[in-house]
């Protein structure tokens, strides 16, 4: 509508290469990429094994996108300096790469920075806590972005709203609000894919991280203690310290998935 056809096509070309970096890296790790959604400020790659993949791989795939903006921006700047491109066009392309690359590093899901934040949180928190806190942080930062877009109307002598920033802020807010409401589904998907991650750990050989619960702990409470990159043995103990049962994590997960009774005691799975 405004006549910036070439600029718009260039912007989406930059985003396409950015997402191609994610896809090629993900495929290199053997991930199954279901779809890629292209947006003006970046894109979102949906993978089949979400939640069951090692956080290290997730972080590498996330950073692969902004790295494409680094080399594209460097090439555009170099072409401008050598006179191969018009200086104004060169400035537009390298600035667009800087803007897209840095924006995607903001710690807001589903941006690359949000995925890096989630991978970092998963190193210390259980997966359910990681989901909750990553989405909460993303919601807060989305609200700050929306507020920053509206501030000029109030404090800058009647200047207009930063419409682009407001649109992106609203998109990120509603995306994360929807994700917050769907945390039970996201956690269930994590549990569903857990068997594959467990098999991978057993095949390679891995240290087991024990989870100690008392006999009154529910299956749901035990599952919420699972960490993303660890294989667990669930140890059921009495208050006096006597071990009643030791359950491999598959027993707990399969027990829940088979009947969906999350409120029964973990010890019941041993009976």
Q: Distance between terminal CA atoms of the chain?
A: 68
SS (H, E, C) the chain: CCCCHHHHHHHHHHHHHHHHHHHHHHHHCCCCEEEEEEECCEEEEEECCCCCCCHHHHHHHHHHHHHHHHHHHHHHHHHHHHCCCCHHHHHHHHHHHHHHHHHCCCCCCCCHHHHHHHHHHCCCCCHHHHHHHHHHHHHHHHHHHHHHHHHHHHHCCCCCCCHHHHHHHHHHHHHHHHHHHCHHHHHHHHHHCHHHHHHHHHHHCCCEEEEEEECCCEHHHHHCCCCCCCEEEEEEECCCCCEEEEEEHHHHHHHHHHHCCCCCEHHHHHC
Omega before 110 cis (within 30°)? yes
Taking the mean position of all CA atoms in its chain, how far away is CA 39? Answer: 17
Position 148 scores a pLDDT of: 86
How do residues 49-65 score in pLDDT, each as one tens digit?
666 678 888 899 999 99
Position 29 scores a pLDDT of: 85
CA distance linking residue 58 with residue 129, whole number of Å: 18
Position 130 scores a pLDDT of: 94
pTM for the structure as a whole? 0.85
How do residues 213-240 score in pLDDT, each as one tens digit?
887 788 888 888 999 888 888 888 887 7
Length of the chain: 271
**Positions in the chain short of pLDDT 70:** 1-3, 39-43, 48-52, 153-160, 199-203, 259-262, 264, 266-271
């Amino acid at each position: 509508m405004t006549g910036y056809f070439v600029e718009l096509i260039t912007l989406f070309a930059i985003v396409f290469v950015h997402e191609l970096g994610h896809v090629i890296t993900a495929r290199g790790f053997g991930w199954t990429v279901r779809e890629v959604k292209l947006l003006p400020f970046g894109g979102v790659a949906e993978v089949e094994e979400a939640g069951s993949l090692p956080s290290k791989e997730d972080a590498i795939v996330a950073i692969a996108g902004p790295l494409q903006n680094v080399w594209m921006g460097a090439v555009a700047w170099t072409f401008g300096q050598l006179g191969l491109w018009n200086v104004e066009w060169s400035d537009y392309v390298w600035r667009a790469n800087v803007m897209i690359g840095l924006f995607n590093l903001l710690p807001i899901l589903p941006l690359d920075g949000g995925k890096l934040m989630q991978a970092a949180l998963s190193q210390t928190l259980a997966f359910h806590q990681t989901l909750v806190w990553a989405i909460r942080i993303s919601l807060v930062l989305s609200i700050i972005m929306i507020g920053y877009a509206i501030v000029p109307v109030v404090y800058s002598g009647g200047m207009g709203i930063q419409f682009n920033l407001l649109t992106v802020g609203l998109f990120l807010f509603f995306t994360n609000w929807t994700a917050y409401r769907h945390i039970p589904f996201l956690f269930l998907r994590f549990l569903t894919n857990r068997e594959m991650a467990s098999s991978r750990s057993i095949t390679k050989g891995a240290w087991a991280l024990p989870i100690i619960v008392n006999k009154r702990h529910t299956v749901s409470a035990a599952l919420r203690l699972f960490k993303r990159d660890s294989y667990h043995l669930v140890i059921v103990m009495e208050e006096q310290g006597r071990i009643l049962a030791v359950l491999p994590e598959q027993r707990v997960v399969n027990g829940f998935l088979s009947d969906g009774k999350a409120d029964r005691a973990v010890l019941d799975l041993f009976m």
